[in-house]
Structure 1
Amino acid sequence: MKKRSRLLFFVMVCTVMVIGYNAFIKTEETTTLPPKQSVVEDGAAQSGGEVQPEIGSGTAETGQAEKTGDGLAVIAQPESMTVLVNKQNMLPENYNPTDLVYPDVRFIFSEKLDKRKLRKEAAGGLEKMFAAAEDEGILLAGVSAYRSHSTQKTLFERYVKRDGLEKARTYSAFPGTSEHETGLAVDVSGSDGKCAAADCFADTEEALWLERHAHEYGFIIRYLEGKEAITGYQYEPWHLRYVGTELAAELAASGETLEEYYDAVPVTN
């Protein structure tokens, strides 16, 4: 009797051990392991997990913040003096320069309009450049400088209505992609206003002087001859862009456009 009781007790113990073991194995098989830590590249955490592309190899603070529905990159630091604004990189729609002033130089019109304004640093460079030119007998005059987003929109739509979209885009910028909206660009002519923003300006003494000396005062001729496929615009010897004396000197020496300096993708129409 005692042997039978011991045997029964042994069988019960073994049964409990088997059931417990099976339960343990089942638990191990169904437990969800924590996910592996994903490797995130530098900069991704600040950009919602997506690494932001670099504009190029230069040092202009022109990082891209986001893309529009048209695939344009919205510039993250539009206030930079060396910002790259073109057909692929647009200013934020609500961007307005906060340091616009009236440079003390002649314009081809007398009214005190917004299009006389430039950002303070660029205005100082323009005043020095005009004075230096006059010392050499070259009388320069401003044609058009700053434009608001709404003004650029009105102007662009007028050109499209007159010449069609394809033609308009060779000489005018879609709203948000015009350098004039930065307050760092100015169109220049001779003091008589002849050939203002026209092809014939290229043959004037004023254009020749600007080609030789504009960089000394922080300005570049933004849309160079022979670079149309890169900049997306026709040659405009009258369109000056302020980038500061250091970068202007480098670009003048190399003959590069801003797109080439930043190793940006060439622009097409």
Structure 2
Amino acid sequence: MTYKQFRLFTCVLMSLFILSGCTDNDYETEPEDTVEEMPQEETQDNDEAEINDGINNETEEEGTHFEEDEDVESDEPVITINMEEDLLDPDSIKVLVNKQYALPEDYSPDDLVTLDLPTVFDDPNLTNMRERAAQALREMFHSAKDEGIVLYARSGYRSYQTQTQLFDRYVDRDGLEAANRYSARPGESEHQTGLAIDVTSESVNYQLTERFGETPEGLWVEEHAHEFGYIIRYPEGKEEITGYQYEPWHLRYLGKELAADVAESGLTYEEYLLERRIDIEIDE
């Protein structure tokens, strides 16, 4: 066999070998995601799910951590407020009393007790409160005294008739518009609930004055009243909401849980209820 014949024979054999080893699949790209993923355990604990959520960057539609947050039980007390049963019931400690929501003329609490605390007046018509509120006030006065703060109760429960006399006197003295800023019309006073108390101190000569809020006694009350179930009902700068001028001396009993929640919010009682989506009317 000549050299030329040998080269030709070799080329033919190589061509046949190449053609016999080729198929159509040799020209297709192998898919990169053909490996089947193992399903994740459905009973992952919360900590592991939160870690996986951060690593895998799951979307909000998948909502892994949102669903788990709903399953976490909170230790915070749940405060329920019902319009009819709480805010409109004169016997409820949550009752709302203001220029829009008045008490019945004949309403008087049936559990009034006389305060056994330092008082400005001896008049029993001014030194009574509902028993639960009186007990809380007693605890507050004693706690304040332990810290060197001496408080005095000046005016507690007032009947509809007593409030009528007071308001009429203020109108005669200062006029209706002025009286409406610092005194409640009959039926619109929280004092009629037996849950409100005016407190003062020797440092302001036992008077009811805005200066009380700047005294050590007034500052202590502002900081600690909610710990005993009381709030400062008419805060400074909220006259358009409450309808009354700033009264650092006027405390309203709501119970410890609700008072703490209102105090922490920094809102008036009206604003707090509106924030809770309770449809109350306010003075526009």
For normalisation by structure 2, the TM-score amounts to: 0.67
- State the 1:103 CA deviation: 2.1
Change (3 A) 1:106 1:191: farther
The residue identity in structure 1 corresponding to 2:211 is C
Following superposition, the deviation at residue 93 of structure 1 comes to 1.3
Cα pair distance change 1:60/1:83, threshold 3 Å: farther
Equivalent positions of 1:237-248 (< 5 A) are 237-248=248-259
- In the superposition, relative to structure 1, how do residues 239 and 148 fare at CA in structure 2: closer, same or farther (>3 Å)? same
How far 1:211 moved relative to its partner?
Answer: 0.5
- Assess, with a 3 A threshold, how the Cα gap between structure 1 residues 149 and 118 changes in structure 2: closer, same or farther: same
**Cα contact 2:236–2:245 (8 A) shared by 1:** yes
Specify the alignment match of 2:84 in structure 1: 63
Change (3 A) 1:150 1:61: farther
CA contact (8 A) 2:88 2:95 kept: no
- For 2:204 and 2:152, locate their aligned partners in 1 and report how far apart those are by CA, in whole Å: 7
Runs of 4+ in 1 over 3 A off after TM superposition: 58-62
Amino acid in the other structure paired with 2:268: T
Structure 1 alignment gaps of length 5 or more: 1-57, 65-74
Task: Name the Cα RMSD after superposition.
Answer: 1.7
Paired-residue identity, %:
53
After TM superposition, list the pairs within 5 Å mapping 1:220-259 onto structure 2: 220-259=231-270
Q: Alignment partner for residue 167 of structure 1, among 166, 173, 178?
A: 178
Q: 2:84 is aligned with what amino acid?
A: G
More helix by percentage: 2
Q: Post-superposition shift, 1:76? A: 4.1
Q: 1:176 to 1:62 in 2, by over 3 A?
A: farther
Q: Distance in 2 between matches of 1:61 and 1:194?
A: 41
Select the structure of larger CA radius of gyration: 2
Q: Secondary structure at the match of 2:181?
A: coil
Counterparts of 1:1-269 in structure 2, within 5 Å, are: 59-63=80-84, 76-109=88-121, 111-191=122-202, 194=205, 196-263=207-274, 264-267=280-283
Structure 2 gap segments, 5+ residues each: 1-78, 275-279
2: CA distance between counterparts of 1:112 and 1:155?
15
Cα distance between partner residues in 1 of 2:144 and 2:201? 11
Contact conserved, 2:109 with 2:130, CA < 8 A, in 1?
yes
SS in 1 for 2:94: coil
Alignment partners' CA distance in 2, 1:94 and 1:170:
25
TM-score (norm. length: structure 1) = 0.71
1:60 Cα deviation from its structure 2 partner? 3.8
